[in-house]
Structure 1
């Protein structure tokens, strides 16, 4: 590391809260699947800002839309209409088949908005007694880091010393439809779940799970809320991950790739009357639905579809997964994934996944560990076959490396 890199990292450590443990690289530029550090070294980005940069770094068409809108109008608040919001509503509804849209900023805000909305629906439409609404969630979930959300996390690192927490959540195992059926009561208003658990290590439920979940939610008048903030918008090789089982959520949450990494944009999409319960003054956001965000999101959605990124994610994801399965390394316990949402889980005796991520940095790949033993692989959806093969060569070398 040069002295300038050390200075950047030391300054962060001196002034910043220590709530992250970044890989030891200081990035300064990005284009497509590549990023460059302050010393000019190039890396293949296999994290995509946790899937927020699905369209590739600094996509020129999204950049152009952002710059053009920034010259015209950036923020009005929702006290006034703007000429981008209605178009954003119309286009995202047409793409996803949604009836109502609630624009927010971060993914966590979308989750909080959904929780408020389904509770309100439960009291005003379903007839749940006031203050008794229950939402079912899954163990090892990750839906954000607000106080409301971490209250129903099962990760001790996320929850520890942040309580007391709000009641109203029941936790069941992920991928267990029988557990869901048993947990539902007359006061259950929603089941909030990730189609694939990302932060937990790209955990994919058994085939048929979401078909059964959909049946149970419909039969019991429970809103199925799918958190597609990581899995949505092409990441798994479909527009939405729900499409792998041909189901439709009552409420869908989008974020991250909704702006292609240019701006915080999220949305709650509803295919029923859940969002219809909200009245003026009951929920809102100064920045939610601002014209700059809407213009960026419209461009991000447009390039995703027009440039075939969803289809490419399916094609290259299959190639990447097969290549990972072909790596013969004693360190690997399991390889799993769908589309370009992949994970390599290591045997405990292989040591922490972090040291493999550090080694990959030295070979020109940036990846991130999760839950000690898992390396996540999630490059931008614009990755090519040659780039996949290039990455696989370096992953194979690293995973067979002797660290003793």
Structure 2
């Protein structure tokens, strides 16, 4: 008999990936095997506090009991029908998500990039069918330093050369303007504009929070110009900033919301375009679809996510603990931190470049048992699960203070 294979170490598993996995990521050298709540454990049994939460996909922590239960329950009944047939979970998911967001209709998809691509298609269709833009001339205005996904259309209007280089030719029809600049936006909008597509807070750029009044100004500008305001809340939405949606901080209601990440509860990929009826109502059978979009398992988990958010407890928790996060980061200004931007439980932290790159700071934090992710230059991002305790958050801030000291 062949002896059972011995479990491989972290080092062996990382080395085994090298020849067989595409090198499109540069992960920290930690191999996660188990997780619960705000904590993950590697194959050797070392524990780490997760201060990234899957880029907000794990807003409710790892393996939240209500979400795991919903998934288990559905796994025993039905997982996939395709949209060739109805399923008994989709109506409730769409009803409750529409009610939570104050919208009318839902287009269920899988990944965030699919939601963005779907939103682009819907905006263009609306421009031709409702606004009356001549066929083939619809444009969409986007912001510099944006991050909306990795498909060829999306990277075509990115200003990040790492994301763009080598992937052209790109889809036409997009205008790029500086973020947080209403005058530039107004100058770019014309009769061909189908939509303005923005992140209410730019995540990948370093958690860039716009000036007060910017989002309200975008809403008013798009209303006057007769075009759509499409808000990409894939990272910023569903409790992350202390509100259900980041646009709520300015009392803004966009025409279209793009949701993802946390909508799947860290269990399955779930995304959605949520919009007013006159916008999503332009789609007809055969014009758009997804085999897995709105599948019963995704709908069951998504409904459980909406149920958690309907209480308002996670939003309040993010707001309250966000105060602690801001206070802790403020104390580090001039002590290794040169600046930060934060809203709720989400922060971009600029570290003195003399102390290391964002990657180097992330590696040092990893050795202290805290997981974060760098972005450009010497900036790191903090986005812990909304289930994190005050004690755990203070511990993470203490680890940051230590590695900067």
TM surpasses 0.5: yes
Which residue is 1:94 aligned to?
99
| Cα distance in 2 between the residues matched to 1:211 and 1:100 | 23
Q: 1:155 aligns with which of 153, 156, 160?
A: 160
1:48-90 deviation line (CA, Å, top 9, x unaligned): 0010000010011110110110110000011111100001011
Which deviates the most, 232-241 or 4-13?
A: 4-13
| Cα distance in 2 between the residues matched to 1:165 and 1:345 | 32
| Cα distance in 1 between the residues matched to 2:10 and 2:32 | 10
| Cα distance in 1 between the residues matched to 2:311 and 2:187 | 44
Q: What is the aligned residue count?
A: 399
Which deviates the most, 346-355 or 47-56?
A: 346-355
Query: Residue 197 of structure 2 aligns to a residue in which SS?
Result: strand
Which residue is 1:281 aligned to?
286
Which residue is 2:302 aligned to?
297
Establish whether residue 200 from structure 1 lines up as the match of residue 243 from structure 2: no
Which residue is 1:341 aligned to?
346
Report how far residue 310 of structure 1 moved.
1.1
1:131-186 deviation line (CA, Å, top 9, x unaligned): 00000000000000001100100000000010000100000000001111111010
| Cα distance in 2 between the residues matched to 1:136 and 1:27 | 40
Establish whether residue 16 from structure 1 lines up as the match of residue 6 from structure 2: no
Change (3 A) 1:316 1:84: same
Which residue is 2:366 aligned to?
361
TM-score for both structures, normalised by structure 1? 0.97
Report how far residue 349 of structure 1 moved.
3.1
Which residue is 2:247 aligned to?
242
Which residue is 1:269 aligned to?
274
Alpha-carbon contact 1:249-1:271 (below 8 Å) kept: no
Establish whether residue 48 from structure 1 lines up as the match of residue 44 from structure 2: no
Alpha-carbon contact 2:244-2:309 (below 8 Å) kept: no
Report how far residue 348 of structure 1 moved.
3.1
1:99-120 deviation line (CA, Å, top 9, x unaligned): 0100000000000000000000
Establish whether residue 141 from structure 1 lines up as the match of residue 180 from structure 2: no
Report how far residue 385 of structure 1 moved.
1.1
Query: Residue 273 of structure 1 aligns to a residue in which SS?
Result: helix
Report how far residue 263 of structure 1 moved.
0.1
Alpha-carbon contact 2:10-2:42 (below 8 Å) kept: no
Report how far residue 273 of structure 1 moved.
1.1
TM-score for both structures, normalised by structure 2? 0.97
Alpha-carbon contact 1:329-1:399 (below 8 Å) kept: no
Query: Residue 72 of structure 1 aligns to a residue in which SS?
Result: coil
Report how far residue 330 of structure 1 moved.
4.3
Runs of 4+ in structure 1 displaced over 4 angstroms? Answer: none
| Cα distance in 1 between the residues matched to 2:174 and 2:277 | 22
Which deviates the most, 167-176 or 298-307?
A: 298-307
Structure-to-structure mapping, 1:62-141, within 5 angstroms: 62-141=67-146
Report how far residue 329 of structure 1 moved.
4.2
Structure 2: gaps (5+ residues): 1-6
Task: Say what the alpha-carbon RMSD is for the aligned residues.
Answer: 1.2
Report how far residue 272 of structure 1 moved.
4.4
